[in-house]
């Protein structure tokens, strides 16, 4: 199984919303490894965003300095969150990424053309909208941008995408998100801008092949990471031959992954992912947690204060498969006390006490048949994780 997370912008340090996604991916990877299955678990950072450039300008530091510092914080979550990812790709430094993006661009050249464009641009989402405000809640006003860009003929792929998603060949979970994508496709597709001027991007990003005055649009650049990080034989092993390619992501980026990305791959004649799992948001006081929106929660700091088990357990046990979850430190502590200390911890303490009191401190031989609840637990966890229901899996445990 090839398991990936999205690669977040590194305009600021990581927050608890991304920790949810990467812990979910980590659980899937560990579960399937324990079942003896081959797994590649990949994550990374989106270094080439205009958001990163503007954040560096606001901080008064070079873009490279800000990007390197924050990307290191994302990769550094491995320790505080006890993560087991196999690969971490940085789009500005990975040796094969720039060349891979150029190859993908050339492979889709028959669907690429240049024209003038004018529209409202949300820097927070890194995309254009026909009108404001930003539907994802970014507070900064949309910027009117007028320039000549390269466009991708997304409109050609409406029917193929409807067939792939409708048949389940490209499976999207939960069902509500699948229906959302199908409704978007049925309403019709317009061609999309896939570059921006090098001047507006301050020269930061990957140049468009053959047109150095333009840089590749950040989403085209970032989405390519799922294949550009696969070097040598890894590409054939994990993308061409692997029957289970799973993308995990938040609901705000579903259009990019379930429409734009498969259309790019169809245009290039490349295999598609097989399953897309979409999680909702973590909020604080009813507001979406974000890196730059004033509402944040540092997963590394939380792990340092309360322990990695408490943080991971809250993310798995409290966050529903469908719907946002509101976070407070009090809720994290309450869940850890109830389940880990009073539940599992108390059980362990009682068992140890009884072994010493009644068995002379020696663990007795196992029963010929395990308790029914124990025998079923692993199966119930597997069933839940196959449906990407982490709360139900935690409940089964």
Q: Distance from first CA to last CA of the chain, Å, rounded?
A: 23
Which DSSP helix (H) or strand (E) runs through 247? strand 245-250
Class of residue 120 by CB neighbours under 10 A (exposed 0-12, middle 13-18, buried 19+): middle
- 222 in helix, strand or coil? helix
User: Is the confidence at residue 35, as pLDDT, over 80?
Assistant: yes
CA distance 316 to 323: 14
> Which residue from 58, 49, 131 is spatially nearest to 91, judged by alpha carbons?
49
- 382 in helix, strand or coil? helix
pLDDT of residue 296: 73
Q: What is the mean pLDDT of residues 124-136?
A: 71
CA distance 370 to 351: 16
**What residues form DSSP beta bridges with 173?**
277
- 150 in helix, strand or coil? strand
Q: What is the mean pLDDT of residues 120-127?
A: 72
Average pLDDT, whole number, for the chain? 93
Q: Which two tokens stand for residue 218?
A: 């950040």
User: Is the confidence at residue 292, as pLDDT, over 80?
Assistant: no
CA distance 345 to 342: 6
Residue pair 92/219 in contact by the 8 Å Cβ criterion: no
pLDDT of residue 124: 66
Which DSSP helix (H) or strand (E) runs through 235? helix 233-235
For the stretch 227-249, pLDDT in tens is 999 999 999 999 999 999 999 99
């Amino acid at each position: 199984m090839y398991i990936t997370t999205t690669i977040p912008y590194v305009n600021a340090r990581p927050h608890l919303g991304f920790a949810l996604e990467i812990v979910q991916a980590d659980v899937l990877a560990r579960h399937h490894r324990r079942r003896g299955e081959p797994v590649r678990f990949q994550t990374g950072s989106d270094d080439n965003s205009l958001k990163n450039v503007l954040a560096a300008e606001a901080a008064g530091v070079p873009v490279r300095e800000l990007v390197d510092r924050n990307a290191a914080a994302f990769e550094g979550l491995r320790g505080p969150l006890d993560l087991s990812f196999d690969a971490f790709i940085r789009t500005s430094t990975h040796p094969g990424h720039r060349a891979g993006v150029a190859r993908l661009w050339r492979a889709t050249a028959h669907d690429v053309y240049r024209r003038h464009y004018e529209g409202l641009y949300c820097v927070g989402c890194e995309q254009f909208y026909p009108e404001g405000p930003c539907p994802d809640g970014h507070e900064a006003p949309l910027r009117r941008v007028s320039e000549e860009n390269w466009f991708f003929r997304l409109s050609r792929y409406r029917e193929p995408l409807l067939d792939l998603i409708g048949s389940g060949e490209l499976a999207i979970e939960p069902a509500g998100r699948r229906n959302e994508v199908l409704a978007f496709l049925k309403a019709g597709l317009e061609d999309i801008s896939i570059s921006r001027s090098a001047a507006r991007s301050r020269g930061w990003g990957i140049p468009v092949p053959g047109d150095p005055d333009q840089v590749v649009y950040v989403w085209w650049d970032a989405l390519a990471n799922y294949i550009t990080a696969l070097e040598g034989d890894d590409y054939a092993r994990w993308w061409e031959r692997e029957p289970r390619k799973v993308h995990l992501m938040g609901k705000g980026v579903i259009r990019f992954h379930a429409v734009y990305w498969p259309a790019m791959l169809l245009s290039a004649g490349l295999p598609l992912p097989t399953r897309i799992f979409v999680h909702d948001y973590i909020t604080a006081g009813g507001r979406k947690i974000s890196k730059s929106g004033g509402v944040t929660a540092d997963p590394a700091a939380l792990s340092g204060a309360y322990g990695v088990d408490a943080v991971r357990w809250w993310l798995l046990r409290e966050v529903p498969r469908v719907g946002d979850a509101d976070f407070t430190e009090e809720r994290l502590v309450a869940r850890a006390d109830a389940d880990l200390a009073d539940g599992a911890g108390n059980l362990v303490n009682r068992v140890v006490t009884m072994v010493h009191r009644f068995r002379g401190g020696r663990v007795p031989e196992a029963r010929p048949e395990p308790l029914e609840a124990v025998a079923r637990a692993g199966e119930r966890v597997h069933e839940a994780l196959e449906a990407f229901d982490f709360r139900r899996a935690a409940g089964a445990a």
